[in-house]
Structure formats: structure tokens, C-alpha cells
Structure 1
Amino acid sequence: MSPMRLGSPSCLLALLQVALLSATSLAQIPDHPLAGYADHHGIQPGQVMQFMVSSEAPQYEAQLVRLIHADTNPLGPGFREQEIDASFNGPHEGRLQPLENGSSVVVPDHPALDVTGSFSLVAWIYPTSPGSGTQAIISKWSTADRSGYALRLEEDGSVGLLFGDGTDETNVRTGASIPVYLRSEKAYPVGDPLHSSLWLLAAATFDATTGIASVYQLPHTVWPDHPAAETASIETGAHAVADNNLSLRIAATPGLSDAATSEHFNGKIEAPRIYDRALTADEIAGLLQGQIPAAPVASWDFSRRIQTRQIEDTSGNELHGHTRQLPKRAVTGHNWDGTEMDFERALEQYGAIHFHDDDLDDAGWSRSFEYEVPHDLKSAVYAARLRAGDDEDYIPFFVRPPRGQRLPRWLFSCPPSATSPTPTVSAWAAINC
């Protein structure tokens, strides 16, 4: 069979498969003992590319290859590659690097967040998978020493509050679940679990003087056959909260490092706030009408700096944060009325963030090896081929023409109405074919 022609369907399919190979490699890591990625998808001669590899095997082989044909259709020539001399070719020490996916907001530790007495946590939530495990909404909880606090969805799908004094932990929830009395843990269940894909106000308060903890699960709109507002108010016997040095997380439970998170929230969260006092039931109810209690410790407005990773605290305490693993911003909030589809024209209605437990922006792995592209390497699609025993993986990348080199005229088309050159279909394919 003759080689693929420039811009042919087979050539485009090959490029698409290379792109899919790169996109799915990390997604399959939990079941893949050998996987990796590069810090760039495209590079020019003289530049350096870094490769990050996770390997269960103590050693793996790396080899630079030019990908000639990536279509494994039996009617075609099959998968074809050409081995190329490279400085990184040969054996490398293998090490397992964990994949910590799941998006969240990170707020660095600050004394103002270490509430040790009365406090309140509130947020609008739009859960998409309640009942699929514990999911944190606002959390500074440390399992290791039973300190801090967390507003969360419990494993039964209801809103709950968890806090600890360093010795005991207390869990109050609005959902109907079986109480668990394990060691010094206390669980008090009341009410019904959440329904998915509905806006609700989730709130929790703790009065350190009386020891009363209250949890609220208030729907934004009451629909037929859906549960009405649920509340639970319990005298816990606790009178203090222990602080810790963990960062605060929104949509996850913090770990010992930025990457080590758990209990990721699935769904949208809007307007999370923290108070250093126990809000009254009337103040909680007032939130449904847009009446915001004064003097919060922190009040994060997700509609601000919406096109960045930055999260702005509007309380005046400057407890700003940043997103991690690229959650979806500029999504409709609880007050969206359907009249505006452009978030820039109604920022106040797009103040939510959609989080997912499988979001992944940067695995954050350590560098395994690097490659400086020689000046005589042909522009094409290449890959670092990894092998360890029967395991194999490819890390594809594009080598572009040297900087300053003029591209052929046929790479671009300029329609009469165009203000700048537009790459042709053949141009996209010409990288390798």
C-alpha cells in the first residue's frame, strides 16, 4: 500500500489517534502500571522537553520514535514507527507516582480560619451524585488528630457537620442513617437524603457555649414530591474545636500536601462563607431571601476574577485562594433566571463553580528525564516509547520547524474576508504526514 498522502483522511485519523493517546494516557493510570506525560505537546529544535513517568517496575526502557502511522485498522498498513537516536534512550529507574485528581479550591492556612469556639459554615450547593460517598463542601478537617471542621455531604447523601476537639469528633447530619458509636465518635441522624441536580442551601452552626450543633438542608425551590427543608439541632456535649495547620479546601478534604486530597465534591458550589459565631435559625432562613449576615470571617465570591485560577475573599480579611485541577468556572448559580446566556453580561448569576472528582489539569509528577531537541531533527510527530516487561506506553509530541523558518505558502489560506492567515487542513496534517 502506498504511503499516506498529505491531508488524506488516513493521515488526519492518525493525528487524531495520537492526540487521543496523549489525552487518555493519564486517565488510565489507575489500571496502568507504566504511564507518563510531557510538559509540552509541541517543541522546536534547541528547546528542552521534560518527561514525567510513573512505573511500578523498578526499571523501564525509554526510546524516541517517529510515529509514521497510528491507525491500527486492519485494512491499512497498521501501526508504524521509526526508532530515532536520542540522549534519553536506554534504561531508567522506575518509581510509582500517585495520580491525585479531583478539583477543589485551596485557601492557605490562616489564624482566622482556625475557629476554636462557635462557628457557622454556609454554601449554596447543586450536588450531582449525592449518596455516592462522603463529599466535602467546606473543609479544614484533619482525620489524623480529629481537629478542625467540615460541612459536607454524608455517605447517605444528606448534609452533615463534622468537627473535633482533638480527642473526640462529632458528626451531625440531616439524613436518615444508622447512628455509629465507635470509640468516642457520635453520629446523630435526622430526615431525608438529598435529591441530585437541585439547588439547596447547606449550612451548619455550632454554639460552643451551649454545645448545640445545627445542620440545615434548605431547597432553593420546593417541588412536588421532593422533600421540604430538613434541619437537625443536637446538644452534642462538645464545647471547643481544635485548630490545625492544614489549608482549607472547598469541594475536598485537605491532606498533608496540596495534592493529597480526598472526599471530592461532585456538582456546583456557590458563595461559601464562614462565620466565627453561631448564626440563628432566622439568619439561616434569611439567606434564602438574599439577606447576608454581616461580618463573615471569609466570604468567597466565585464570580470575581472568573477567567483566572484566583478565588477572591470579599470579607476584608484577604483569605484569598486558588483553584486546583481546573474546575469549571462561569457556570450558572442558584439565582440564574435564564435571561442571559453570556456570563460576562450577568456575572452575579454565574457565581458558581462546577467541581468533579475526576478533574485533572496537572498531575504534578517529578521529572524522570528530559530531551533537548537537536537542530537537525525533522519536523514530525514523535513519541517517547516506554517499556517495562509486557507493559508499554507512548508519550507523543510534535516537533515544529525551527524558529524563524518560513513556512510554505500552501500551509495557509486567506479568504477575502479573513484578517489573518488561517491554517489549511493540509497544514494540520503536514506536521507528520
Structure 2
Amino acid sequence: MPLPSGRTTTQNVFGYTDRFSARPGEQLSFHISCAGPPTYDAALVRLRHGYDGQAGPGFLEAEVPSTIDGTYPGQYYACQPGSYVEVPDPNGLLANPDALVIRAAVFPTLPRDNRSGSLGAYRVSQSSVGFTGERQAVMGTWDEATMTGWALLLDDGKPSFVWSEGGQRRTLTLEQELTAHQWYRLEVELPRSAGQITLRQTPLEHCADRVSPAASAAVPEQANATASAVWTASSMPFRIGALARADGDRLLAATAFNGKIGGIRIERATADASTAREPVAAWHFGRSRRPDGLLLWDVADEGPHALHGRCTNAPVRGVTGPEFQGVVEDFRLVPDEFDGENELLGDFGIIGGGAAGSEIDCWNPALGSPPGTLILATSGPFSDSYLLVTEEIFEMLPGMGGTEQPAVRSDMVYCALEGGGGFFSVGSIAWTGSLSHNGYDNNIARITGNVLRRFRDEKPLE
């Protein structure tokens, strides 16, 4: 895209800083990856307006001369998205699926994930992450490059088991696509010798929504396939929530799962009796082996072989599982009271049509809003498209939408802090989309200007 400076931007150059901000005199490190271009230009700019659609004044920036200006050699660095648990398996107990009985509960949130496209004012692309939702791994060792190993996964939303016989890919896939935000139990039973592989899924009732299986017409399903039991193991590690793919000398995440996984139990049928099974592993994502009980990187295996796992890229821990019995939720929150001028602010803008149209936040002392914070203005009402974020609730229970939940709102706040400093928060990222309305002649732009001028003043805030 051509810029007023004469430079151009390209989606083949990606980068980020090691921190979000820095004070005068501090340093920021820039990490740049070039997918194709041998060089890239760098310049320091003051961004005035980032939206280039017809509703605004276009992309506006001003260059600020600095020592970073120049052309630099480009290099490609592979992106490493996808969170997962990797389990060291020194004795190869999980490498060969011979006679394994595998159980897991899954709660897919994007069973047929495709996040590319435009979402309002946001442009989303999966090109930089290297995988789509066509396949999403629950667990396994499958190596797509060598067609070896095995995996339990979703294939275009359908439960599927993939394995290798003599270096050839074999799959067993169910007919039903899983419904998003519904718990299912997945089970795989594998033969010790040549015989039948069984794959089944069972919809599970959940305390937050007892009617979901019936409402979505979800019914149990089972499928069978004949296997020779001549398994071909892979050299990839066993992972939960993603598989591994080689990128030079590194192993990156592949076919990452979107949703929740829990209740994983793996057993192996014994040789002397077809009905007898011995436990192999049983991971519990809500328990910690640490003395302080924190859920950090380690995942405890409660099975006899202590196949403890290690988290990569910080998957969310301790979320509600299929056995969750519910908690008491008090929705009788008292709306905040405030004194101020009765003026309608920001009923215009290019992001959602208003200054509080996206990614809203509100005053809440329980989440860290300090004493003495003044609520200058509040927004609402919002539709049920706006919900409390998952960090603030245990489960998506009824009453979390904007028409019922008073905590779903955007607050404009100000607070003077000890020492003369302070903060001003607008409560929504959409505030920036209202600045340019009517040629910057509007109350949002005036408030922003007043705040910036006051904060630049050396006098202590009061």
C-alpha cells in the first residue's frame, strides 16, 4: 500500500516489539521476519489515523527522524503459534497404539475454523500462522511428512482417527460434525493384533446447558474399521492439543485444537484377557504438583508411569470441564452512579458506529480499579453480541449478554495517583474510530485533546 511518505507496506513483512511501550531513554527491540523480501525499510512514524476505509480520512502518518531509519537485510523466521502439552515418553508407551483404549472429553469452539476475512473494522488472516481448522488434533504422534504415527483429531469438524500401516495413511472418520460449544466424549479402541478399530463419540450433558445435545440434534455415533496392527511409529513426540511438524531443526505446532480438552485416559488391553486393561496415563489439567498449587507449565499424570507433560505457549489451565456442577452467580450488580454533565458522547464512528463499539472495558474494583477512580461517563445498553469475557466467569451461563448483564458496559474513567501522576481510560478501542468524525470537530476529539494537554502539563494531577 503506498503511503504519503512514498514508502509502501507489504503483508510479507511481519514484526513485533519486545514490549508494548517504552519511556524516553528506554529501548525497544524489534523482531522482524521477511517472507520473501531480501530487505526491508524501517522508519519511526507518528501514526495519526490507521483506518484506510472510505468512512475516515484515510491512512495518516508523519515521519519522525531517528537513528533507526534505513534499509536492513531481511530474514525469515517461522511463526510458532498453537498451545499444547508435550509428554516425554522415554519408554515409548505412547508411540505404538497397539491395544490402546483412548478416552477424552472435548469442547470444540471452532470445529470448522476459518478465521480469515473481515470482522467489522478488523482484518484477520491465517496466512501468518501456517495452519487452518481443517484438522485439529486432540492428541497423538502423527507425522504428516512421513505418514507415520497416530492421532485422534477433528477432520473438518468430524472425529477422526488416523494411523499408519506399513507407511501408508489410514483413517477412520465419523459422519457427524461436532457442534461448537458442546461437550463430547471421544473413545478409540485399538486391537492388539489384526482386528477392528472402533471410534465413537457421545454428546455429554452439562450443568450450564442440559438441553444442548437435544437442541443441536447431537446423537451418539460409532464407526469401525479393520486394521492389520502392523503399526508404523513416528519419531515425533506425543502431544495434546496439537501435533508436531519439523521446521529445520525445530519442531513447531501443527493442526492445533480450538476449544477445551479434558478427562484424558489411556489404557492398554492385556495379552491374557481381552477385557482386562492396564492404565497407561491419566492427565489432570486442573491439578498441580507444585507446593503452592499454581497451574503453570507442568501437567500431572496420575497414572502409574508418571508421564507428566509440559505446556508450551501457555494453554489456558483449570477451565471448567464436563463434570463441572455449577457455581452460584449473583447478577444483581448495582449500576454505577456518577455525577456529570448529561451529554451524549461518541454516537458516531467507523468502528461499530460509536466510541464504545468494540473491545469494551469498565470500572471494576474487584479487577484492579484503584480507589479514587472517577467514572466520567458510561455507555449502553449493549446487545447480547457483547458478553462478559471468559477471564471473569467460570462458564458461559445465561444472563451474560449486554441486555441482562450490567457489567457489560464501557466506562470512561479518570484517576489521580499518589506522586502527581494518574490515568485516563476511554473504555473501548473504538474510541479511536470516532476521532476523525466531522473533520475532527466532535466531542470525542475535544475530550482527547483536553486530556493530552493536561497530562503534558508538569503540574501534578488532582
TM-score by length of 2: 0.55
Contact 2:148 2:163 in 1 (8 A): yes
- The CA deviation at 1:173 is 2.2
Contact 2:87 2:237 in 1 (8 A): yes
1:270 is matched with 262
Identify the match of residue 103 of structure 1 among 53, 59, 83: 83
1:129 matched to 2:110: yes
- Which structure exhibits the higher relative contact order, with contacts defined as CA atoms closer than 8 Å and separated by 6 or more residues? 1
- The CA deviation at 1:203 is 1.1
2:74 is matched with 94
1:256 is matched with 246
Contact 1:200 1:220 in 2 (8 A): yes
1:324 matched to 2:312: yes
SS at match of 1:216: strand
Evaluate the alpha carbon distance shift between residue 79 and residue 142 of structure 1 in structure 2; reply closer, same or farther with a 3 A threshold. Answer: closer
1:299 matched to 2:282: yes
1:144 is matched with 145
1:244 matched to 2:245: no
- Mapped to 2, the partners of 1:424 and 1:60 lie a distance apart of 37
- Mapped to 1, the partners of 2:201 and 2:453 lie a distance apart of 52
- Mapped to 1, the partners of 2:225 and 2:284 lie a distance apart of 31
Evaluate the alpha carbon distance shift between residue 82 and residue 168 of structure 1 in structure 2; reply closer, same or farther with a 3 A threshold. Answer: closer
- The CA deviation at 1:63 is 3.4
- The CA deviation at 1:224 is 5.6
1:198 is matched with 182
Q: Percent identity?
A: 24
- Mapped to 2, the partners of 1:328 and 1:71 lie a distance apart of 32
- The CA deviation at 1:200 is 0.8
Contact 2:269 2:277 in 1 (8 A): no
1:396 is matched with none
- Mapped to 1, the partners of 2:30 and 2:253 lie a distance apart of 24
- The CA deviation at 1:428 is 12
Evaluate the alpha carbon distance shift between residue 268 and residue 225 of structure 1 in structure 2; reply closer, same or farther with a 3 A threshold. Answer: closer
Contact 2:101 2:266 in 1 (8 A): yes
Contact 2:286 2:295 in 1 (8 A): no
- Mapped to 1, the partners of 2:57 and 2:229 lie a distance apart of 73
1:52 is matched with 31
1:208 matched to 2:192: yes
What amino acid sits opposite 2:259 in the alignment? Answer: G
What amino acid sits opposite 1:298 in the alignment? Answer: A
- Mapped to 1, the partners of 2:231 and 2:57 lie a distance apart of 67
1:120 is matched with 101
Contact 1:174 1:231 in 2 (8 A): yes
- The CA deviation at 1:422 is 7.8
SS at match of 2:101: strand
1:290 is matched with none
SS at match of 1:256: strand
Evaluate the alpha carbon distance shift between residue 423 and residue 329 of structure 1 in structure 2; reply closer, same or farther with a 3 A threshold. Answer: farther
Evaluate the alpha carbon distance shift between residue 412 and residue 241 of structure 1 in structure 2; reply closer, same or farther with a 3 A threshold. Answer: same
Evaluate the alpha carbon distance shift between residue 53 and residue 315 of structure 1 in structure 2; reply closer, same or farther with a 3 A threshold. Answer: same
Match runs of 1:395-410 below 5 Å:
none
SS at match of 2:253: coil
What amino acid sits opposite 1:337 in the alignment? Answer: Q
- Mapped to 1, the partners of 2:316 and 2:454 lie a distance apart of 31
SS at match of 1:83: coil
Listed one character per residue, the Cα deviations across residues 31-51 of structure 1 (whole Å, up to 9, x for unaligned) are 712221122234467765432
- Mapped to 2, the partners of 1:93 and 1:139 lie a distance apart of 39
- The CA deviation at 1:94 is 0.9
Evaluate the alpha carbon distance shift between residue 135 and residue 424 of structure 1 in structure 2; reply closer, same or farther with a 3 A threshold. Answer: closer
Evaluate the alpha carbon distance shift between residue 427 and residue 261 of structure 1 in structure 2; reply closer, same or farther with a 3 A threshold. Answer: same
1:234 matched to 2:225: yes
SS at match of 1:330: coil
Contact 1:54 1:97 in 2 (8 A): yes
Identify the match of residue 61 of structure 2 among 79, 82, 87: 79
1:334 matched to 2:349: no
Evaluate the alpha carbon distance shift between residue 339 and residue 112 of structure 1 in structure 2; reply closer, same or farther with a 3 A threshold. Answer: same
Evaluate the alpha carbon distance shift between residue 152 and residue 412 of structure 1 in structure 2; reply closer, same or farther with a 3 A threshold. Answer: same
- Mapped to 2, the partners of 1:265 and 1:213 lie a distance apart of 23
Evaluate the alpha carbon distance shift between residue 413 and residue 311 of structure 1 in structure 2; reply closer, same or farther with a 3 A threshold. Answer: same
Evaluate the alpha carbon distance shift between residue 328 and residue 431 of structure 1 in structure 2; reply closer, same or farther with a 3 A threshold. Answer: farther
SS at match of 2:93: helix
- Mapped to 1, the partners of 2:315 and 2:74 lie a distance apart of 31
What amino acid sits opposite 1:123 in the alignment? Answer: A
160-169 or 52-61: which moved more?
Answer: 160-169
Contact 2:18 2:29 in 1 (8 A): yes
Evaluate the alpha carbon distance shift between residue 106 and residue 341 of structure 1 in structure 2; reply closer, same or farther with a 3 A threshold. Answer: farther
Evaluate the alpha carbon distance shift between residue 424 and residue 172 of structure 1 in structure 2; reply closer, same or farther with a 3 A threshold. Answer: closer
Listed one character per residue, the Cα deviations across residues 11-39 of structure 1 (whole Å, up to 9, x for unaligned) are xxxxxxxxxxxxxxxxxx9x712221122
1:153 is matched with 154
- Mapped to 2, the partners of 1:310 and 1:108 lie a distance apart of 12
- Mapped to 2, the partners of 1:36 and 1:336 lie a distance apart of 41
- Mapped to 2, the partners of 1:205 and 1:294 lie a distance apart of 11
- The CA deviation at 1:338 is 1.9
TM-score by length of 1: 0.59
- Mapped to 2, the partners of 1:309 and 1:46 lie a distance apart of 35
Contact 1:138 1:272 in 2 (8 A): no
What amino acid sits opposite 1:113 in the alignment? Answer: L
What amino acid sits opposite 1:36 in the alignment? Answer: G
226-235 or 196-205: which moved more?
Answer: 226-235
Listed one character per residue, the Cα deviations across residues 230-266 of structure 1 (whole Å, up to 9, x for unaligned) are 1123332x12322222122222221125653322222
Q: CA RMSD in A?
A: 4.0
Gaps of 5+ in 1: 1-28, 176-191, 284-292, 343-410, 415-419
Contact 1:68 1:82 in 2 (8 A): no
Gaps of 5+ in 2: 1-8, 114-133, 206-212, 289-293, 331-414, 425-450
1:174 is matched with 174
